[in-house]
């Protein structure tokens, strides 16, 4: 099985890439979805988060108040590191177990979406890394439509490597300042069709 790691900046199209690949028969794991499952009520990770950050990060029904947690950790690097120490090892264990199951079942291709792939040193786990990217203007507009303030956008972006650095380290780049059809065509060329050893880029020259 050929295993791809998919990364990129905030709101640059990683989840869309995952959906497009699933539609084409590629097994996909999304670490954002894994993280949400790991912090459901009753999960050990949620208990650790409450112990570390206090009961104020819980909503009235006992579930994690993700907005409140984000408000606290993205404004403080030490708190963010504490949260990552709780979640990242569990998340990696989960997607690696999924990849093992794919191999055991004879899957030809699999992909794992990891926003902080390079930041967490996961690149050695993959046969190839795909960076999904768009222009800074498109990224800002997509985040603004989510209701994020300029200050929140700045804080979130500061918690990740610049997308230019991710592009420089990736084996392939999928450019999403384009139509959904063009996005899909780039993915098909990289993942679905047979790969060549040359580096490809979907970004315009």
pLDDT score at 78: 94
What domain range is 121 assigned to?
A: 2-201
Q: What is the CATH number of the domain that holds 27?
A: 3.40.50.300
**DSSP H or E stretch at residue 96:** helix 77-105
pLDDT per residue over 37-71, tens digit each? 999 999 999 999 999 999 999 999 999 999 999 98
Q: Considering the chain, what is the average pLDDT of its residues?
A: 92
Query: Which pTM value belongs to this model?
Result: 0.89
Strand partners, 130: 6, 172
pLDDT score at 153: 92
pLDDT per residue over 134-192, tens digit each? 999 999 999 999 999 999 899 889 889 999 999 999 999 999 999 999 999 999 999 98
pLDDT score at 6: 98
- Do 166 and 131 meet the contact criterion of CB atoms below 8 Å apart? yes
Quote the CA–CA distance of 11 and 132 in Å, as a whole number. 10
How many domains would you assign to the chain?
1
Is residue 194 over pLDDT 80?
Answer: no
Q: Find the length of the chain.
A: 205
């Amino acid at each position: 099985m050929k295993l791809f790691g998919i990364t990129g900046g905030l709101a640059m199209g990683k989840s869309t890439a995952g959906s497009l690949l699933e539609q084409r028969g590629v097994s996909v794991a999304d670490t954002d979805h894994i993280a949400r499952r790991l912090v459901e009520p009753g999960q050990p990770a949620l208990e650790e988060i409450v112990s570390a950050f206090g009961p104020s990060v819980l909503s009235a029904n006992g579930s994690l108040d993700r907005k409140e947690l984000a408000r606290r950790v993205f404004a403080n690097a030490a708190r963010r590191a504490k949260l990552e120490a709780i979640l990242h090892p569990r998340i990696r264990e989960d997607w690696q177990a999924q990849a093992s199951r794919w191999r055991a079942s004879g899957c030809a291709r699999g992909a794992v979406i990891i926003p902080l792939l390079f930041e967490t040193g996961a690149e050695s786990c993959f046969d190839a890394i795909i960076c999904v990217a768009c222009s800074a203007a498109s990224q800002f507009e997509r985040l603004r439509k989510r209701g994020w303030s300029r200050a929140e956008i700045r804080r979130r972006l500061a918690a990740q490597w610049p997308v230019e650095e991710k592009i420089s380290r990736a084996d392939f780049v999928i450019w999403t300042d384009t139509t959904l059809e063009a996005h899909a065509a780039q993915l098909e060329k990289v993942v679905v069709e047979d790969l060549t050893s040359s580096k490809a880029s979907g970004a315009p020259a």
